[in-house]
Structure 1
Amino acid sequence: MRFRPALRIATLLIAASAHPSWAQAQNDSTKRAAGTAAPAVAPCPPAKQIKPEQMYGLWRVQFTKPPAGLPDKATMLLERHAEFSESVAGFVNRDLGAAAGSPAVAGHRAKAQLAGDIEEGLVTLDESSNGISITGTWTGELVANSCGRKVTGVWKDTSDSAPPDAPDIPFTLEKVPGW
C-alpha cells in the first residue's frame, strides 16, 4: 500500500501527538507552578454526620466468639430501604457450614433480611431469618476517622431458639473497597 505524501505527514503528526511523554507536562499533577499549594484532601466527616446513603454497599463482618453453630465471618449488603428513604435495608449472608463441628443454630438461616437506621453515628439493625420475626439485633457505632467505612458493636441472638441470657457477640463491619 502506498501513502500519498500528505497522508504520510498527517499519519506522522497523529502518531507524534499521541506520544505520552510529549503530553505529560500538561497532565502531570505533581508539577505545580511555584508558590501554589497542593490540592486539599477532604477530611473524613465526623461519624455523627455520616448519612444512610454513605453506608450503602457490601460489608465484611467479623464476629468475636460467636455462639456454637454460627460462623465468625459473614457478609452484609446495605441498600436504601424501599419504604423509608432515611433507613437502610439489606441482607446478611453467613456460611453456616463454616461453623465447623457445630450444628447450625435453629432459628437462623444462611441469608437473613436486615432493616434499620444510621443516626448520629449509631447503627441499629434488626435481622429476620424468616421475614416475619426479629431473630437478631445489631447495635454499633461508626468508628471515628473511618469515613463511614468501619463499625464496631454487638449482635444479639433474639430468635426463638436463643437462650434467655444470650450473650452480646462483638462484631466489626468493614466496607469492602470499591463500594
Structure 2
Amino acid sequence: MAWPTLRPAITYILIAISACPTSATGQNDPKSATACPAAANMNHQNLQGRWHATLQAAAPDAAHPPDATALLQLGPHPELAHSVRGTVQRGGASAQLSGDVNAGELTLEESVNGTNISATWTGQVVDGSCGKEIHGTWNNATPPTTLPFVLRKQAGWQ
C-alpha cells in the first residue's frame, strides 16, 4: 500500500485512540485524605515546619504598637517523642520553643534564656485548615502582655 492510501486509515486510528478513556489514578490518590488532617487529629509531626505568626495588637496607637510578626521554626523534639522544639524570631530577637498539639489544642512554651518560661502560646487548630492555621493567645511573662495570634504554616514546609 502506498502512503497516500494509508494516511486516512492512520488518521482514523489516531482519532479512535484519542477518544478512548484514560485512567486518572493520580487524581484519586488515597493519601490525600491523610495529608489534610482534621483539627482534632493533628499531631506533633504536622506542627513541624516553618510558621508565620501575626500577634494582633488591641488598638494600634502610641501606647499599643501595630500588629507584630514572628517566624517560628519547629522540628522534632530530641527528648520527647510526641513534642516539637524550635525557635521563634521576632523583632531581631530569638527565643527557644517547645511544646505539642493534642486533640487540636496547641501549647508552646517560649524561653528567652533557655531555662525559664518567658511566654506561652496556647491555641486551637482551625477546622478545615488542614492543620495549616492556628488561632490563640500569646502570654508574655514580663511585662505581662496578652495578645491574640494567628499562626499560618508556610508553603513548602510540610
Q: TM-score band, normalised by the shorter chain?
A: 0.7 to 0.9
Superposed, 1:103-122 pairs within 5 Å as 110-122=93-105
**What does residue 5 of structure 2 align with?**
none
Identity %: 35
**What does residue 58 of structure 1 align with?**
50
Provide TM-score, normalisation by structure 1: 0.65
**What does residue 145 of structure 1 align with?**
128
- Is 1:78 the counterpart of 2:74? The answer is yes
Provide TM-score, normalisation by structure 2: 0.73
Amino acid of the structure 1 residue aligned with 2:99: G
Higher strand share: 2
Tell me the distance in 2 between the aligned counterparts of 1:71 and 1:127.
Answer: 19
- Is 1:178 the counterpart of 2:156? The answer is yes
Give the gaps of 5 or more residues in structure 1: 1-24, 97-109
Tell me the distance in 2 between the aligned counterparts of 1:154 and 1:111.
Answer: 19
Tell me the distance in 2 between the aligned counterparts of 1:46 and 1:81.
Answer: 23
**What does residue 39 of structure 1 align with?**
28
Tell me the distance in 2 between the aligned counterparts of 1:130 and 1:86.
Answer: 23
How many residue pairs end up in the alignment?
Answer: 131
**What does residue 19 of structure 1 align with?**
none
Contact 2:138 2:147 in 1 (8 A): yes
- Secondary structure of the structure 2 residue equivalent to 1:53: helix
Tell me the distance in 1 between the aligned counterparts of 2:119 and 2:100.
Answer: 15
